[in-house]
Amino acid sequence: MPVTKKMLASDLMMCALKKVPWFGVAVEVVDVIKVRYEQTLHADRLAGVEEKLTRVEERMRNVVVEEMRSILETLRKPDLNGAALTEEIRNFRQIQEQGWHPSLFEGLLQNSSHLQELKRNPQIYGKILNDHDKVDPSNGIHLLLDADKSRILEITPFAFSQLLANQPKGVPEAKIQAAADVWAFPSAQSGLILPSGSSSLTNSVGMTFARIPAGTFMMGSPLSDRDASDDEKPQHEVTISKPFELAIHPVTQGQYRAVTGQSPSHFKGEDSLPVENVSWLDAVEYCNALSRKEKRTPFYAISGTTVTVPNWNANGNRLPTEAEWEYACRAGSETRFSFLDERAIGEYAWYSENSGGKVHPVGLKKPNSFGLYDMHGNVWEWCWDGYEAYKGSPVIDPRGPSQAPNRVDRGGSWYGTAGFARAAYRAGLQPGDRYGSLGFRVARVQS
């Protein structure tokens, strides 16, 4: 922008207002105009650079979007082989290394119009969408751009398992792992392990299940953990011999009402709030009622307050065992929580320091690597097992005593401190107890 007569007049006027002596006016005006002109040139240069950068960024963004489209199309091919899959994951990593840094969507979509839709339907990923594009669940999975259009979000484990759902034999010969705690491609002998489920695992009341693979883990807390209670010890090896399915959220008030017609919760509000104020007996009766609604074989035989399991291979809905719950909560981790940095507890859990003294809608915090939400905090969750001390020896599929004065509950709640939300922390309550911090989630054999 050139210096104009108007600018010169303005500078002269400023000299007059400041009462500059006449013999100094000429020098003052020259200095003022020189500085003003340099500032204007600098601003023009900055504006030009910014415009060029904007154009370059737009072109780069378009290139990256096209590259991601190509990756997604390849991953959708039903005859995908290990070499092709490995190549596409490498391409995805290359995009990250070029500065298009992906991150889990919770951290980038706080102002996005998609956030609530994603929380309700976490399987919706894969297609390239801008922030205000309509999300159509029937139109496949979507890959989202973040709210300021500058970064592309990560393909989450949920979405990745969806992309590979059309691979009937998996892709066992793939040799690459995208991230240690996100997804993996095991050996040809073991097949492809999917860390979470697909959209076909959503039932008639909107309850979505994740597929939890079989595996072995260390249950409980080590003797060296001085913060752990004695009933969490000794730490011992547990094998979950069969894969199973577990709801990604605790049962919500809407889901409970849809099956029983009742609303027992102390905290009334949105249907997405977890149901609480339910006893262990209420929970097993709900599981049976849900099974009947879905034409599955009821899992439990209930006579008054006596509950037995006729067949652990039955396809009905049930409570997870205590071992299944801890295994699913840990999701491959060996730390006190399912995440490494304990200072990040507020990103994963509602507990006494951030809950405001109440429950919160399910799924607002980060999930673990199995795609499970609210395993830490929000509401305690009933398990099947009668409460008993650990024996300490390696076990396979432990289920605890079928009859016992107390039943196990896990996970902590909005009311308790972070210590109660640890993966290994265990408590026991009488089967008829009801509290405003006590709920449950549903498990079942893998379809």
Q: Average pLDDT for residues 302-323, to the nearest whole number?
A: 92
Judge if 50 and 83 occupy the same domain: no
Can you read off the two tokens belonging to residue 45? 């240069």
Q: Would the pLDDT of 16 be above 80?
A: no
Classify residue 59: in a domain, yes or no. yes
Judge if 383 and 311 occupy the same domain: yes
Judge if 210 and 298 occupy the same domain: yes
Judge if 56 and 86 occupy the same domain: no
Judge if 148 and 290 occupy the same domain: no
Can you read off the two tokens belonging to residue 103? 């991150």
Classify residue 25: in a domain, yes or no. yes
What is the percent of the chain with per-residue pLDDT over 90, rounded to a whole number? 39
Range of the domain at 9: 5-65
CB 247 within 8 A of CB 441: yes
Q: How many domains does the chain have?
A: 3
CB 292 within 8 A of CB 280: no
Judge if 283 and 415 occupy the same domain: yes
Judge if 301 and 373 occupy the same domain: yes
Identify the pLDDT of residue 345.
94
Judge if 295 and 360 occupy the same domain: yes
Reported confidence tier of residue 210, pLDDT bands at 50, 70, 90: confident
Q: Would the pLDDT of 402 be above 50?
A: yes
Classify residue 186: in a domain, yes or no. no
Can you read off the two tokens belonging to residue 195? 């860390």
Judge if 161 and 226 occupy the same domain: no
* Domain end call among 117, 145, 166: 166
Identify the pLDDT of residue 4.
55
Classify residue 356: in a domain, yes or no. yes
Instruction: Out of 2-6, 115-119, 224-228, 421-425, give the one with best mean pLDDT.
Output: 421-425
Amino acid at 173: E
Judge if 206 and 336 occupy the same domain: yes
The model's pLDDT over 383-400, given as tens digits with 9 standing for 90+, comes to 999 999 998 889 999 998
Distance CA 115, CA 124 (A): 11
Classify residue 176: in a domain, yes or no. no
Reported confidence tier of residue 127, pLDDT bands at 50, 70, 90: very low
Classify residue 268: in a domain, yes or no. yes
Judge if 365 and 343 occupy the same domain: yes
Judge if 383 and 408 occupy the same domain: yes
